[in-house]
Structure 1
């Protein structure tokens, strides 16, 4: 045999001309747009792995660890806005998927999770295996899944897989989890192959709502938008609405690519430690349109905005309820058609640009450095990297102090260029960068990560080497658990349990077959980063950063002095 068996043709002579459940399920997922399956290969879904072998449109990516596989799938869903497939075997190992599934649920990221259960003949017993209670995957993922299902018969598997793929994309996107007994995959399939169902049409609701919001905006003096990641696909429509209707646009926390930061209507990123002047437009607003975003604690600046005197309109599919004092409207619809209709019926107005230009573009402001310190300021790393990388570079980061420098100094101008998890997730950046690169092989992809997080899931660098995916990993090595160190310094004026041993990440990278570099002075930044970006294989740049610089606004030494004085 010179190549894979053609899709959906009868088996050669000698085989029974009947497709298995595994083969039909793969076909259903391909028809739904799924292009990659991420897993740590297990013996419980051998038939499914074999079916994937002969499907040219659905590639299999075997990760080094389950958490890495899950982050890869979640990142691809963020970038493509079409679900990737995540495969997990029976037992407690699937618990490693939980953080990624929760992140997908919070961020509205499409994902299909197929979880194997014990063979169906063993599922009817008391739920005890080897003296231990079996883990119920649907109970585990249920609180963080948009849709869950369990196959009771082999014939149900392809049908449920089609439902899972549709549920992951319909309305507000999210993770869909399907549990399948291991022996179902090899069963012959005699049913009808499910056809992809069209997504729901909410045109009527969009038309009515657009007219109502247009009237509200026509009567407002200072309308403001808070744009989130759920509306990334509608970015062009948001830009058109902002320009025609005179809207000042803020971006929600960690969703800076939802609106170009170099646009005249850009008002700022509602993140941590932003300058007070950047909130002027939001402070004076009388109408706030929250488009495709959760109004979390950081985005609302500790629940300060929208104020009770501001009218809030929440726009987007399946967004959670907002409990606040003040007039609130909810429009549950797809964002792109809503904005198109809003532009069509809205009254064009040219408002004073000062509302939008109140933002202080801090990514243009040089950091305050310590000339006498031999190590590199983290802000300089991001600023130089931004200078030498292509405009549409995809940046992945964790939810730690390292990401703060990306938020402050990168300046996001192109769509789908920021891939980050919700708050409290570490070890995301490296596997997420690989998922993004496989989904968009022509884009430059950079992971910005701390030395702490690099040792959590950094082994997926080998997966990148194996798949010939030339990602760039920039490690900020300061030898600290920086988040905890800052709190200890502020509260006690001393550190304990947060120091780390120095790691030669350049040599570590070369041991996997990647390129490795070390930067110990600011003068090395531009030539080294430029060279690393030119490689056609994964590269790691180990930057020895100043441990005194905890985040863009804080130094450990200043915190120590403050505690001593008090």
Structure 2
């Protein structure tokens, strides 16, 4: 068998060497040789999407599940421009993404030729163009290494279309594997001393703990040392929400009352979180730059430690390994069960569903409460962007095998592509995407891809004929002057049926539970259109 030397074949072999088993794309003529190479590769599932933006979102969601860089393939300038939203989201979310862009031929670079240009901003960790076949494998390895290292993020690799078929490519690249870092004993003694004297410690858990081992280590540490656990933005699932150590979820709608309780902590262990602006509520908790209590920060990227907060001590290492080192040692401590119980009871009380006093009012809270009752939190929920997310965070309590999938940038239209990726990766657990009518209108075409693959995805569309979040801001700043936020929607139930999915509609709270139960039992794709109130957009606005 002759040696494989073309760029396209070497790129494919390099992808396989990095463990890539699924790629998301919108087919384009500028990277046809790579698509042709994939035709004969049964080990890689090629998911053809309806829009480059949702293909990129799907790759991001896939990266969250695999903990490896998601891979997206798009064509030149128009495709790259559509995929730019995923590049931005990957940077905001610290999620590894490698975006391959088939570009115009080498002689046409920078010559204003048809569909030329690189419409990507400065959010990528790196943007490169592959000119020389002899550096193919090395460039692919570098792309994955940069995307996955430090604080993960997006890398964009442009490949001119006439380069793919060229001979002379180097050998396929393999993933760079690093040794594990062990915390220094003296610095660990400092943490042990802080932990041993703290009466109200609080562990803020971030996405770097979102692995099976990380979640196990988190639970074991919390139980061993009786530490309350707070999860960072959109990482609510890191600890079973019914666990006695679960203290809540920090997000952009966390209320001042809960924040005041967190302020009472006398030690904060920020483990696996970047301590970004959304999680900390713009440095509200932990306070920045000077926290109100000792702060221990553990994150794989040393550049993130101390960026916005003065830390007592910091560790640039795997957060699960850090927790393992502390869990396996005895630390004499005062009793902290009352502190943990207090925070957990506050969260439990917040999660107790009380329907609106008007029985005809349907809110996104009815959706979350029904899902909680029907699944016990053993469900994967993809959240798009909108006011309905606040209801989801509050009234849906995730079990130990549940998962919340969202992105820090809160970009509308994330849900359909993400649900496609999640259901393709794990069809055994129900996948429910909660999305507004505005977000569905952006990338709802991916329902066709989901139906094509017969994936068990339940779409729950909050249909209030409005861009609810923007409408809420308009009301606050310019009362009675709403503009450009009304939506003329189709019949989502019939739209789902036209795609081949089960279509249901809910107009009352009782309908919501009935329809969700039917959708969850359905073996294929389904959609529940819920006619939600456009007046009661947040839990705080509902009369009870």
TM-score calculated relative to the size of structure 2: 0.91
Matches within 5 A, 1:70-219: 70-123=56-109, 127-130=110-113, 134-136=116-118, 140-141=120-121, 143-189=122-168, 191-198=170-177, 200-205=178-183, 209-219=187-197
Q: State the partner residue of 2:272.
A: 292
1:530 is aligned to 2:530:
no
How far the C-alpha of 1:324 sits from its partner, in A, is 5.2
Is this contact kept in 2: 1:376–1:544, CA < 8 A?
yes
How far the C-alpha of 1:78 sits from its partner, in A, is 0.9
Is this contact kept in 2: 1:280–1:355, CA < 8 A?
no
Q: RMSD of the TM alignment (CA)? A: 2.4
1:446 is aligned to 2:426:
no
Q: State the partner residue of 1:357.
A: 341
Q: State the partner residue of 1:539.
A: 526
Structure 2: stretches of 5+ with no match in the other structure: none
- The one of 311, 316, 320 equivalent to 2:294 is 311
Is this contact kept in 2: 1:267–1:278, CA < 8 A?
no
Q: State the partner residue of 1:247.
A: 227
How far the C-alpha of 1:225 sits from its partner, in A, is 1.1
Distance 2:464 2:69 in 1: 36
Q: Does 101-110 or 359-368 show the bigger shift?
A: 359-368
Q: State the partner residue of 2:322.
A: 338
How far the C-alpha of 1:416 sits from its partner, in A, is 6.2
Is this contact kept in 2: 1:245–1:350, CA < 8 A?
no
- The one of 267, 275, 292 equivalent to 2:247 is 267
How far the C-alpha of 1:208 sits from its partner, in A, is 5.7
How far the C-alpha of 1:349 sits from its partner, in A, is 3.6
Is this contact kept in 2: 1:257–1:414, CA < 8 A?
yes
Matches within 5 A, 1:31-46: 31-46=17-32
Distance 2:273 2:61 in 1: 18
Is this contact kept in 2: 1:206–1:341, CA < 8 A?
no
> Aligned with 1:61: secondary structure?
strand
Q: Does 87-96 or 346-355 show the bigger shift?
A: 346-355
Q: State the partner residue of 1:413.
A: 399
For these two proteins, the number of residue pairs brought into alignment is 534
Distance 2:129 2:186 in 1: 38
Distance 1:497 1:313 in 2: 46
Change (3 A) 1:191 1:270: closer
> Aligned with 1:542: secondary structure?
strand
How far the C-alpha of 1:74 sits from its partner, in A, is 0.5
Encode CA deviations 1:169-216: one digit per residue, 9 max, x unaligned: 334333232222212211224533333321x22424465643442233
Change (3 A) 1:206 1:441: farther
Distance 1:448 1:43 in 2: 34
Is this contact kept in 2: 1:395–1:418, CA < 8 A?
yes
Change (3 A) 1:183 1:426: same
**Which contiguous aligned blocks of 4+ residues in structure 1 show a shift greater than 6 angstroms?**
none
Structure 1: stretches of 5+ with no match in the other structure: 1-9, 11-15, 559-566
Distance 1:340 1:34 in 2: 29
How far the C-alpha of 1:378 sits from its partner, in A, is 2.0
> Aligned with 2:142: secondary structure?
helix
1:427 is aligned to 2:409:
no
Q: Does 147-156 or 459-468 show the bigger shift?
A: 147-156
Encode CA deviations 1:528-555: one digit per residue, 9 max, x unaligned: 2111112222111111112221111125
Encode CA deviations 1:225-252: one digit per residue, 9 max, x unaligned: 1111222121111111111222111111
Distance 1:325 1:232 in 2: 23
TM-score calculated relative to the size of structure 1: 0.88
Q: State the partner residue of 1:21.
A: 7
Is this contact kept in 2: 1:257–1:418, CA < 8 A?
yes
> Aligned with 2:133: secondary structure?
coil
> Aligned with 1:553: secondary structure?
helix
